[in-house]
Chains A and B, each alone.
Chain A
């Protein structure tokens, strides 16, 4: 089996992640922040360690800015619903995942907010940070309160100029929310330097952690309303959630084993080196694009962007059929619309969507050669 679906979740996980999750459940899995006996404190120590690791890795102000969530979607909902008010206007990009689009669409349908979509010019070879920012600036209104965008697309390797967009948001006093589902652990991110108010990320993709270990890293001095209310482990006699972050945003018990695993995932990324991993994934992606482009039936979408994702379609073969055939040959890819109606419309993929290939650090050139051979065979070439 060759796993090429790392944009959905990375696989395999590093042994350090597996070991720490198992060690947590065996040795120190008390309830963190609930009570103060030895196991509760040991679990709380690990949670704090992971908050510190995340804040440090992403240039956050401190451990208290790190809010653990189940996944990126929950983090995005927390930022969107916690910061927006009735009458606000929001800008989102034309490459957004449904994790951004659906909460915004729901609020707009309910008449609470309005929104506009700004062009990322993903198919334009002349795109630049300046042209993208001009498109954004033209859509800013007096009541624009938030801009949300995916740092890296989940259907191709296009990346947005986050630092320039962050500076623009600062200039206009707009909350800047970044969906880092495909960039955390792949690209350098510094919340402070990039002017990010809310960084929403998964632990189980580029950071190599387990599923269930997402987080929201708040920028400095951002205070939001809560998405969930419940037990916080302190101030239990009060009817409202405490003011203190991160507990304010974390009602209920945290998944300590998943968070312990995430901590080791981030350390693995540090050890391997973000730039080494990025370089490897770009090279594998370049090799994949060059091999698939030799098959006449194949259309590649936005292949000029180099990263860890490649989207393709084969003439006369639906994406789902291609996915099925590849699975039969031992290749794991994802076919369809990838929860991104906006992105697929922007890239003009056909009805039924396309096939996404997302190699990871553990993939080799031999995997790509075998994969291209399988695609060629499915297209009736061999």
Chain B
């Protein structure tokens, strides 16, 4: 069963708008961190859908620093991207 199954080696930074998620992805890509824009509907049950970037959890500290430096506001970090 694939439903809601997550990949623990992937982490997620929930961002918000598509533009900010793209900005985050570009900032990470320019620092050679592989990241993918995903839709994270179920990460916030009060506001509704948000865009997020998923990245290898091994890069967690690096990602936080890059996004902070790029001025990308991250709503939450969590473990477990979609497979």
Residue in A63, A235, A244, A246 whose beta carbon sits within 8 Å of that of B48 in the complex: A235
Binding site for B on A (CB under 8 A): 32-33, 35-36, 41, 44-45, 48, 51, 62-64, 232-238, 242, 244-247
B46 at the A interface (CB under 8 A): yes
A233:B48 contact, CB within 8 angstroms: no
B49 at the A interface (CB under 8 A): yes
Residue in B17, B37, B48 whose beta carbon sits within 8 Å of that of A36 in the complex: B37
The answer to whether A247 and B17 touch (CB under 8 A), given A36-B39, A64-B23, is yes
17 examples of A-B residue contacts, CB within 8 angstroms: A33-B51, A35-B39, A36-B37, A36-B38, A44-B22, A45-B22, A48-B19, A64-B20, A64-B23, A234-B17, A234-B48, A234-B50, A237-B48, A242-B16, A244-B19, A246-B19, A247-B19
A67 to chain B, nearest CB (A): 10
**A106–B11 alpha-carbon span in the complex (Å):** 52
B18 at the A interface (CB under 8 A): yes
B47 at the A interface (CB under 8 A): yes
- With both beta carbons as reference points, the residue of chain A lying nearest to B73 in the complex is identified as A244
* Consensus secondary structure, chain B interface: mixed
Contacts of A41 in B (CB 8 A): 37
Bitwise, B49-76 to A at CB < 8 A (1) or not (0) is 1110000000000000000000000000
**A63–B47 alpha-carbon span in the complex (Å):** 24
The answer to whether A238 and B47 touch (CB under 8 A), given A41-B37, A244-B17, A247-B17, is yes
A237:B47 contact, CB within 8 angstroms: yes
Contacts of A236 in B (CB 8 A): 48-49
- With both beta carbons as reference points, the residue of chain B lying nearest to A247 in the complex is identified as B17
**A376–B11 alpha-carbon span in the complex (Å):** 73
The answer to whether A235 and B22 touch (CB under 8 A), given A35-B39, A36-B37, A244-B17, is no
Residue in B18, B20, B26, B38 whose beta carbon sits within 8 Å of that of A32 in the complex: B18
A235:B18 contact, CB within 8 angstroms: no
Contacts of B39 in A (CB 8 A): 35-36
B22 to chain A, nearest CB (A): 4
A234:B18 contact, CB within 8 angstroms: yes
**A233–B19 alpha-carbon span in the complex (Å):** 11
Top 4 A-B residue pairs of the complex, sorted by shortest distance between their CB atoms = A237-B48, A236-B48, A36-B39, A33-B18
- With both beta carbons as reference points, the residue of chain A lying nearest to B39 in the complex is identified as A36
Given A33-B18, A234-B48, 10 more A-B residue pairs with CB atoms under 8 Å apart are: A44-B18, A48-B18, A63-B23, A232-B17, A233-B17, A233-B18, A234-B17, A235-B47, A242-B17, A247-B18
Residue in B16, B19, B49 whose beta carbon sits within 8 Å of that of A51 in the complex: B19
**A237–B49 alpha-carbon span in the complex (Å):** 8
